[in-house]
Chain A
């Protein structure tokens, strides 16, 4: 059974770069899309982008200039980088595997706080 284990820095200062990694355990990254989703405090879930096994990415328009999602097939890892963070990027970040048009499974979530 595939499990997604997330890790990365949880406290950032404004203008720094958010960097999170998702280890895919129990399965291969090949054959699927890998997605990052976040939830800001008091708000719903927000799809922020994904990547397929060929490295083709899609990003939400509002973050396109600052976001990079990469896939390391040799390490079975998916990574998220979000540059020039502000307080508005404070959120619980999830990685998830996209199967057709749904997401399963999800990682445990990483709380990222941006504060000076």
Chain B
């Protein structure tokens, strides 16, 4: 199972909105509504922010939203804040009954 494709980096100024894409295939993202997103600050454990494509995890700000179209899922962060600077990873269930993740996107707040 090939990894999901994410942009290596995305940047934005405080208050702006950014979107991170995550592209897979019909065997993973396109075939199931089981996309999740994780935020990882340096040296910290990854933290669930979105599950089942668009549901926010408990305690996660409504500035974070998820969506999916075809084989591509997206994570949007609106009202970008300095604390959002982190690495973000998407993940999806697959038709092989396994999980596949993206390569990660580094978000920089300018």
Report which A residues bind B (CB closer than 8 A): 4, 35, 37, 43-47, 58, 60, 94, 96, 99-109
Contacts and interface: CB of A to CB of B under 8 A. Distances in A.
B60 to A, nearest CB: 11
A107 to B, nearest CB: 6
A35 B103 CA distance: 19
A105 B98 contact: no
Interface residues of B, number: 26
B89 A44 contact: yes
A101 B36 contact: yes
Contacts of B89: 44-45
Q: Is the interface of A mostly helix, strand, loop or mixed?
A: strand
B46 A106 contact: yes
Closest 10 pairs (CB-CB, A-B): A44-B103, A45-B101, A102-B51, A101-B34, A104-B48, A47-B99, A102-B36, A106-B45, A106-B46, A101-B93
Contacts of A103: 36, 38, 46, 48, 91
26 contacts: A4-B45, A35-B99, A37-B101, A43-B3, A44-B89, A44-B102, A44-B104, A45-B101, A46-B101, A47-B99, A47-B101, A100-B52, A101-B93, A102-B34, A102-B48, A102-B51, A102-B52, A102-B91, A103-B38, A103-B46, A103-B48, A104-B47, A106-B45, A106-B46, A108-B44, A109-B45
